Amino acid sequence: MTTTENARKPSLPIVENFTRRAAVKGGFATLGAAAFVAAVSPLRQAAEDKSAAEFMQQHYTELSPQQKADVIARLEAEAKENYGADVTIADDRPIPGTKFVYAINLSVCNGNGKCVEACHKENNHDRDTNQSYIRVLEMPKGTMDMEKGNTTYTGAVPQDDKFYLPVQCQQCDEPPCVDVCPVKATWKEEDGIVVVDYNWCIGCRYCEAACPYHARRFNWKKPEVPADEVNPDQSYLSNRIRPVGVVEKCTYCLHRTRRGKLPACLEACPTGARVFGNILDKDSNIRWILENKRVYILKEELGTKPAFFYYFD
């Protein structure tokens, strides 16, 4: 191969034998492109599981009633196809004049973990990873330092020298998880519940990093739930089976509580340690407790203003 003399003086050298070189380079480029297509071929399979309608779906708050109905019909069909379960997905909206708060009586909670289990079943969590929105810490008496707690305790409960601290989403009034979300996939509703649009979340897990209460969970894989164990009473913003690759969280069981029922964890609690209600209702039990008991919140110094309270008798 010869190089040209610098007579024509363009600053970049010109290579002769253009066509032969071009052919060789083109050949290698084609080879590279083919290898690339082969390398990323698993993507094709991933794409087959997702419809164009899902890809194009707008944010929950921007869907028209008709679009919402279409989306829900599609999600119900997908549940049938993927899980073999007949489910109903409702679009439960906040009840005006309602602000939900939760309280736990630490004098009574004995760490039996029934709430954890009930949450797991109610919210159609992945059976394989045994996921739940609730974590219970076994704490030595005489400290509030979580450092000294243990989330993986086993054996008989309650232990004499221990107390039990269940932690779940605190539905903060200043939620750091909502602030950090780059796409507004998570927000706080009027009744105080922080929700996630599972069809808008991009799975960056920044909210998971921001949450001081370990309240958020990521779907590291496609959830597995046997057809006969699927809870068919679902809502778009709460316990419908989540897609892979998105973040989810406790919604105070809004598919129950917005229909006048109590959260699953509360119903499952055998000790009566859990109290739930509308703080705006002057006659409610929860209001009486917050006014008359020694109440405190977790990590108050962070300024997250939880709507989740702990109290002692």
Partner 1 sequence: MSSITTTPQPNEPNGKQSHITSYPKFIGRSLWLATEGSFAFYAWMTMLTALFLVGANAWANQVAGGMIATNMTDQVSWGLYIANFTFMVGLAAGGVMMVIPAYLYHDRKMHDVVIIGELLAIAAIVMCLMFVVADLGRPDRFWHMLPIVGKFNWPISMLTWDVIVLNGYLLLNLHICGYLLYMRFLGRKPNPTWYIPFVMLSIVWAISIHTVTAFLYCGLGGRPFWNTALLAPRFLASAFVSGPAFIIVSMVLIKRLTGVGGLDQPIATLTKIIRVTILINLLMVASELFTEFYTGGSHVSAAKYLFFGLHGKTALVPWTWTAIGLNVTAALLFLWPGLLRLRWRPLLVTACLMAFVGAWIEKGMGLIIPGFVPSTLHEIVEYVPSQLEWKVTVGIWAFGLMVFTVALKTALPTLKHPAEH
User: Which stretches of the chain bind partner 1, using CB under 8 A?
Assistant: 9-13, 15, 25, 32, 35-36, 39-43, 45-47, 50, 55, 59, 135, 137, 145-147, 149, 151-152, 167, 176, 179-185, 200-206, 208-214, 216-222, 243-247, 299, 302-304
CA 241, CA 244: separation in Å to the nearest integer? 9
**Shorter beta-carbon distance to partner 1: residue 40 or 73:** 40
**Shorter beta-carbon distance to partner 1: residue 128 or 281:** 128
CB 60 within 8 A of CB 199: yes
What is the three-state SS of 126-183?
A: CCCCCCCCCEEEEEECCCCCHHHCECCCCCCCCCCCEEEEEECCCCCCCCHHHHHCCC
Q: How far is the CB of 195 from partner 1 (least distance, A)?
A: 15
**Shorter beta-carbon distance to partner 1: residue 200 or 257:** 200
**Shorter beta-carbon distance to partner 1: residue 240 or 256:** 240
Residues 6+ apart with CB under 8 A from 225: 83, 85, 124, 125, 126, 127, 241
CA 165, CA 146: separation in Å to the nearest integer? 9
Backbone angles phi, psi at 289, to 5 degrees: -65, -45
Q: How far is the CB of 74 from partner 1 (least distance, A)?
A: 16
CB 119 within 8 A of CB 274: no
Backbone angles phi, psi at 217, to 5 degrees: -125, 145
Residues 6+ apart with CB under 8 A from 206: 180, 181, 182
Residue type, 230: V
CA 67, CA 57: separation in Å to the nearest integer? 9
Q: How far is the CB of 209 from partner 1 (least distance, A)?
A: 6
**Shorter beta-carbon distance to partner 1: residue 90 or 298:** 298
CA distances from 216 to 60, 124, 147, 174, 278 (A): 20, 15, 20, 16, 24
Q: How far is the CB of 133 from partner 1 (least distance, A)?
A: 11
Element (H, E) at 95: none
Q: How far is the CB of 247 from partner 1 (least distance, A)?
A: 8
**Shorter beta-carbon distance to partner 1: residue 1 or 292:** 1
Q: How far is the CB of 88 from partner 1 (least distance, A)?
A: 26
**Shorter beta-carbon distance to partner 1: residue 41 or 292:** 41
Q: How far is the CB of 172 from partner 1 (least distance, A)?
A: 11
